[in-house]
């Protein structure tokens, strides 16, 4: 945690807890660090008689202690959110910066603050009162994620060709049927493939099983015939690259874009992540309960709520079979 040497001890302990105990990703820890550092700097600026020219990023918060944090109330948080909405520069290095960050960015910073105070009140009990417990998030403009239609998905699968045809086809089938992330696909080992499901290691090293349909199983089997003839530098890997290493996230990105172009689809509008949206949308349109779909996708909030723990594995298998894409089969064997 030397990289957080500009933080007070209480904030460093929070970051250590979420990194080592909660197992959250480096990106999440970095966001907590930046958001909470900005928040504490703002509060200190408001509390102290500093020159009007003082820049928020220049404020030293290493002396902030639990007594200082205990003095923070709801109105202080409202002031911070108001600053973000009206006075925070979007592009501070510009000669004419715009001011006021988006509702989504403000919501993320409020989420970091909520996590910090929950840690102090519930986890470590250093504080009794949580000033943000009932604070509502800024309203976000709702926008539907982009996804492929059934016809576009079929066109994408049919477009797969070339030297790595069986590999690429199996990868696209896994994306469309299981809705896994690129990083999860890259991390798959041969031993993670079972008869009707795969074992996925998701965010925070949390494991889950995701079921797939018969067409997806067929695509994987066709690829495994080819894969078993190769020796990779990491021979556990399910998917290999041209240079016989484990396939990379970048390589997966390229192969998806290549298939999209061949299918006549706009590769600037769609990506591997959009295939994840497609899988979720198709499952929901097939009548699968939204909570089951969330478990299939491995959304992080399912690790902190008990409501989804009672879903039977048979329901997860039904989710895979209910996905209309599980019936698509363009034989590449």
Q: Which residues are catalytic?
A: 181, 203, 273, 276, 299, 308
- Give the whole-angstrom CA distance, residue 185 versus residue 192: 11
- From 261, 255, 277, 267, select the one nearest 148 (Cα to Cα): 277
Q: Which residues of 168-178 are buried (b: 16+ CB within 10 A; e: fewer)?
A: bbbbbbbbbbb
Contact residues for 185 (Cβ-Cβ < 8 A; gap 6+): 171, 174, 175, 239, 252, 272
* Continuous H helices in the chain: 9-16, 26-47, 66-70, 74-86, 103-118, 150-158, 165-178, 182-186, 214-227, 249-262, 272-285, 290-297, 313-322
In this structure, what is the dihedral angle of CA atoms 280, 282, 287, 290, given to the nearest 10 degrees?
Answer: 10
- Give the whole-angstrom CA distance, residue 308 versus residue 324: 24
Q: Which residues of 35-58 are buried (b: 16+ CB within 10 A; e: fewer)?
A: bbbbbbbbbbbeeeeeeeeeebee
- From 214, 208, 207, 232, select the one nearest 325 (Cα to Cα): 214
What's the chain's length in residues? 333
DSSP 139: P
Cα four-point dihedral sign 209, 248, 275, 150: negative
Helix 272-285 and helix 150-158, axial crossing angle in degrees, nearest 10: 130
- Give the whole-angstrom CA distance, residue 226 versus residue 171: 14
Burial classification of residue 22, based on how many CB atoms lie within 10 Å of its CB (0-12 exposed, 13-18 middle, 19 or more buried): middle
């Amino acid at each position: 945690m030397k990289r957080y040497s500009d933080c007070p001890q209480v904030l460093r302990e929070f970051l250590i807890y979420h990194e080592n105990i909660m197992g959250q990703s480096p990106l999440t820890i970095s966001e907590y660090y930046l958001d909470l550092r900005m928040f504490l700097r703002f509060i200190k600026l408001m509390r102290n008689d500093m020159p009007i020219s003082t820049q928020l990023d220049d404020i030293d918060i290493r002396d902030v202690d639990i007594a200082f944090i205990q003095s923070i109330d709801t109105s202080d948080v409202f002031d911070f959110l108001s600053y973000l909405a009206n006075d925070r520069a979007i592009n501070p290095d510009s000669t004419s910066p715009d001011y006021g960050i988006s509702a989504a960015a403000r919501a993320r910073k409020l989420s970091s603050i909520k996590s910090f105070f929950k840690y102090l009140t519930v986890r470590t009990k250093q504080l009794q009162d949580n000033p943000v417990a009932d604070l509502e998030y800024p309203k976000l403009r709702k926008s539907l994620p982009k996804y492929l239609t059934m016809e576009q998905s079929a066109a994408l699968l049919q477009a797969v060709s070339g030297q790595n045809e069986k590999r690429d086809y199996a990868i696209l089938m896994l994306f469309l049927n299981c809705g896994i992330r690129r990083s999860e696909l890259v991390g798959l080992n041969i031993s993670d493939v079972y008869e009707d499901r795969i074992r996925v290691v998701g965010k925070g090293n949390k494991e889950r099983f995701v079921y797939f349909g018969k067409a997806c199983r067929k695509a994987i089997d066709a690829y495994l015939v080819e894969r078993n003839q190769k020796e990779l530098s990491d021979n556990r890997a399910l998917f290999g690259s041209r240079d016989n290493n484990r396939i990379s996230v970048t390589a997966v990105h390229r192969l998806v874009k290549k298939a999209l172009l061949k299918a006549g689809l706009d590769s600037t509008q769609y990506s591997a992540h959009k295939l994840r949206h497609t899988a979720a949308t198709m499952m929901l349109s097939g009548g699968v309960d939204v909570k089951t779909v969330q478990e299939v996708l491995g959304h992080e909030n399912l690790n902190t709520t008990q409501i989804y723990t009672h879903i039977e594995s048979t329901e997860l298998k039904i989710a895979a079979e209910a996905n209309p894409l599980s019936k698509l089969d363009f034989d590449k064997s």
